[in-house]
């Protein structure tokens, strides 16, 4: 941490989300270009709820595919800005029918299927450090965020594992089946990379994923007894139920399910009819706004929390 600066709570989100956080800030805000060994990062600094925050937009300069996101620069810049606690928001694909479109997923662990692992410790002068990844997301921060998100009317699924895939393509139906069998409830493009880097810097991290794509046909991959008797709900019925936050219609009998995986993934861009797509878009916009309200409320709460005794405190690489 840079000496002489008050502890700030870091918030990583979309550019629109960070812009709106700016709108909620009290008094003056300033955009600082923070230099890091991995490039310069624009960090928005200000006060919200009386507490200092440092906000970074995920796609900093230009849209980048997941494997080119400057996570190392982002977390380095936040650490340099005095952040010991960070909330990162993103979007996820649901693998669990309890996690519906528009729901927030706050994972407690990750599975990394990316095949690459960003690190601050590349050997050489930086040395090698084997970060402890037990409980990669901060329990205290996660509890706080879940409670706040619910108070702002969001449906939250807490606890569970998020699988991280390299992208930019979404996983196939067969890959989703494999990930679900491995215990993942949702799929992300960045959760594991972010958790690893935060841990290397000794930052407490909470991740919140908005479900924008969902696996509607659970039977496509899950073994065990099939759902009970009943009429197969149509895709439109399912999407309408998701959009309106209702329980989905009763699940269908196996015989009427049709080819496995045929209706596998649906969501924001997943082939919904125009009316359902509009309803989903409106719902996801509402969810984004509620999440931003929760994030703004999270800053003073996180700033006031007692020092975390659960997350290991990494010393960080040289030069930070
Ligand atoms: Zn912690």
CA of 145 relative to ligand 1 center, distance in Å: 13
pLDDT value for 132: 87
Query: How much helix, strand and coil, in percent to the nearest 5, is found in the chain?
Result: 35, 25, 40
% the chain with pLDDT above 70: 77
CA of 309 relative to ligand 1 center, distance in Å: 7
Both structure tokens of 70: 């400057």
Q: Which of 56-60, 147-151, 278-282 has the highest mean pLDDT?
A: 147-151
Residue 256 exposed, middle or buried by CB count within 10 Å (0-12, 13-18, 19+):
exposed
> Alpha-carbon dihedral of residues 193, 197, 199, 201, nearest 10 degrees?
-170
**pLDDT, tens digit (0-9, with 9 covering 90-100), for 141-193:** 999 999 999 999 999 999 999 999 998 888 888 899 899 999 999 999 999 99
pLDDT for residue 270 is more than 90? no
How many angstroms separate the Cα of 119 from the Cα of each of 122, 132, 138, 172, 203? 7, 13, 19, 28, 14
pLDDT value for 239: 57
Question: Averaged over 235-263, what is the pLDDT?
Answer: 49
CA of 95 relative to ligand 1 center, distance in Å: 27
CB 208 within 8 A of CB 141: no
CA of 295 relative to ligand 1 center, distance in Å: 17
CA of 46 relative to ligand 1 center, distance in Å: 23
CA of 306 relative to ligand 1 center, distance in Å: 10
pLDDT value for 3: 40
CA of 279 relative to ligand 1 center, distance in Å: 37
Question: Averaged over 245-270, what is the pLDDT?
Answer: 46
Side-chain-facing half-sphere of 132: CA atoms under 13 Å? 11
Which residue in 209, 206, 203 sits closest to 77, CA to CA? Answer: 203
Domains and CATH numbers, the chain: 8-229+287-304 (3.40.50.1580)
Write the DSSP symbol of residue 248.
P
CA of 284 relative to ligand 1 center, distance in Å: 29
Q: What is the mean pLDDT of the chain?
A: 82
CA of 8 relative to ligand 1 center, distance in Å: 15
Place 222 in a pLDDT band, splitting at 50, 70 and 90.
very low
CB 163 within 8 A of CB 113: yes
**pLDDT, tens digit (0-9, with 9 covering 90-100), for 30-53:** 999 999 999 999 999 999 999 999
Which residue in 248, 228, 227 sits closest to 236, CA to CA? Answer: 248
198 compared with 126, residue with greater pLDDT: 198
Residue 29 exposed, middle or buried by CB count within 10 Å (0-12, 13-18, 19+):
middle
pLDDT for residue 16 is more than 80? yes
| Euclidean distance between CA atoms 249 and 272, whole angstroms | 17
CA of 253 relative to ligand 1 center, distance in Å: 45
303 compared with 224, residue with greater pLDDT: 303
pLDDT value for 225: 39
3-state secondary structure of 93: strand
CA of 204 relative to ligand 1 center, distance in Å: 4
| Euclidean distance between CA atoms 97 and 264, whole angstroms | 12
pLDDT value for 264: 43
| Euclidean distance between CA atoms 233 and 306, whole angstroms | 48
**pLDDT, tens digit (0-9, with 9 covering 90-100), for 105-130:** 999 999 999 998 889 988 877 788 88
Residue 26 exposed, middle or buried by CB count within 10 Å (0-12, 13-18, 19+):
exposed
């Amino acid at each position: 941490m840079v000496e002489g600066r008050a502890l700030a709570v870091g918030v990583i989100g979309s550019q629109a989300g960070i812009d709106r956080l700016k709108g909620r800030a009290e008094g003056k805000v300033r955009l600082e270009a923070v230099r890091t060994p991995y490039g310069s990062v624009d960090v928005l600094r200000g006060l919200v709820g009386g507490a200092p925050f440092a906000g970074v937009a995920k796609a900093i300069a230009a849209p980048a595919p997941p494997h080119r996101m400057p996570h190392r620069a982002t977390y380095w810049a936040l650490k340099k800005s005095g952040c010991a606690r960070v909330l990162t928001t993103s979007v996820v694909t649901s693998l669990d029918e309890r996690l519906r479109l528009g729901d927030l997923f706050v994972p407690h662990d990750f599975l990394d299927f990316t095949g690459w692992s960003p690190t601050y410790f590349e050997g050489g002068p930086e040395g090698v450090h084997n970060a402890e990844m037990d409980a990669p997301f901060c329990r205290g921060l996660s509890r706080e965020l879940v409670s706040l998100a619910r108070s702002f009317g969001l449906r939250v699924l807490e606890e569970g594992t998020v699988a991280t895939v390299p992208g930019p393509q979404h996983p196939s139906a067969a890959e989703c089946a494999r990930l679900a069998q491995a215990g993942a409830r949702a799929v992300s493009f960045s959760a594991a990379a972010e958790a690893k880097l935060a841990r290397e810097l000794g930052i407490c991290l909470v991740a919140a994923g908005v479900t924008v794509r969902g696996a509607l046909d659970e039977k496509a991959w899950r073994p065990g007894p099939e759902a009970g008797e009943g009429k197969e709900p149509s895709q439109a019925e399912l999407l309408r139920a998701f959009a309106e936050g209702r329980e989905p219609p009763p699940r269908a009998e196996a015989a009427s399910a049709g080819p496995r995986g045929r209706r596998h993934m649906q969501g924001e861009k997943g082939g919904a009819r125009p009316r359902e797509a509009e309803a989903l878009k409106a719902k996801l916009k509402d969810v984004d706004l509620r999440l931003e309200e929760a994030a703004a409320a999270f800053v003073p709460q996180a700033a006031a929390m007692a020092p975390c005794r659960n997350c290991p405190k990494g010393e960080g690489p040289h030069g930070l």
